[in-house]
Amino acid sequence: MAKIKTSFFCQNCGAQSPKWIGKCPACNEWNTYVEEVIHKEEVGVGSWKTKSNDKRASKPQKIKEINFEEHPRIVSDDPELDRVLGGGIVPGSLVLIGGEPGIGKSTLLLQIALMLQKQTVLYVSGEESEVQIKMRAERMPFTSDNCFILSETNTQSIFQHLENLKPDVLIIDSIQTLHSKLVESAAGSVSQVRECTAELLRFAKETGTPVFLIGHITKEGAIAGPKVLEHMVDTVLQFEGDRHLSYRILRTTKNRFGSTSELGIYEMRTEGLRGIANPSEILLTQREETLNGVAIGAMLEGNRPLLIEIQSLVSPATYGTPQRSSTGHDAKRLNMLLAVLEKRGGMRLGQQDVFLNVAGGLRVDDPALDLAVCASLISSYEDSPVSPEVCFAGEVGLGGEIRAVNRIENRIAEAAKLGFKKIIVSKYAIKGIDLGKFNIQVIPVTKLEEMYQGLFTG
């Protein structure tokens, strides 16, 4: 009987060691090594091997002598996905999508599989049966004759079906459920995830087939498995949102073929996910009357301008220590803006409870929202509403000055498109810009005092 070969793997980075060690020398994490069973003669050997008749050059070449043929991207009927991928699905790319349980990862990729009418798509599920996937697909308004479903977890069996079917797109749900016979450890372990991903990576690069992987996440929000998983793939997408709200955000955290600051916004419905072409309209609350403590800010997410609603409530503290609560906004930046308003604006906020909320369930970090946050706080403190026809775009410095923000023309154009009459920006942001081409009044300011006088004393 052959002796069982075991080795120790770091659960954080995937580093290997012949014996247990307390601190990983690769990632410097403590107590992350676990013992797993492997085959000594088959370590690192994948089931998808390069064919012997591969005629690609194996010698070093000068970069100027390499023939470059640009492969056209596969454009789906989902503009939100195409946006975050950089213009479409790249042939031969490996895309990893992570998110919390129940957020809609499987629904999104099944919907994409049904949308690709001209391509043959193989949807491999290790978590659901064919009947369960069919029940979910029946709720969607899409049908396809080229979408094939396979319920399988063994990578060797999957590759046999791939050789017979030769699909144009492969979807794996999920990478943590796959297991390879070449590694004798449980599915979802460090060595299994790494080996299965390596086999799929070789398949994608050698055949030019784009592969989508669904990845589970840990309780800390990171993708489960070794960190090397995110380094191996070409694109990492994060599917975010509150399960109690209907809106979902698809955010890019890594993309070798496009920008890493793009995002797509979806609305979860009974029949599936609906892409939202103009998210500013859903992020602005429809109110029948003007309320105190509400201001509209123009922000950017990647290359996409968004107008979002900032809500605040400032009231005298009745329970001793004043509270500072922020939802969707950086609490430290809120404290900084409160200090600026108290020091530079003369507002007595030391004994006031302050609650700040970003409408729509978004989390924002654009400093251009500082001016909208200050306007919202002043409106609630003074009990005087801000006109619903005014929006803001400017960063507030510690001296109370209004600093310029990038791509101000995109923000102004978005505000004009949504019907706003005025936008208050930094005076230093509009130098050299022809304001006559915008159907909106641009009000330049340099200090918080000018914004206050124009809104609340005029």
Annotated binding-site ranges: 99-106
- What is the Cα–Cα distance from 70 to 424, expressed in whole angstroms? 44
Quick one: angle between helices 448-456 and 370-382, nearest 10?
50
- Reported as half-sphere exposure (CB side, CA atoms, 13 A), residue 388 has a value of 11
Q: Cβ(85)–Cβ(95) under 8 Å? A: yes
Give the span between the Cα atoms of 274 and 113, in whole angstroms: 15
Annotated binding site for ATP: 99-106
List phi, psi (to 5°) of 95. -115, 130
By the 8 A CB rule, do 341 and 347 touch?
yes
Q: How far apart are CA 101 and CA 221, in angstroms?
A: 11
Query: Which residues have a Cβ under 8 Å from the Cβ of 99 and sit 6 or more positions away?
Result: 105, 217, 238, 239, 240
Helix/strand/coil percent split, the chain, to 5: 30, 30, 45
Instruction: Write out the two tokens for 68.
Output: 């470059």
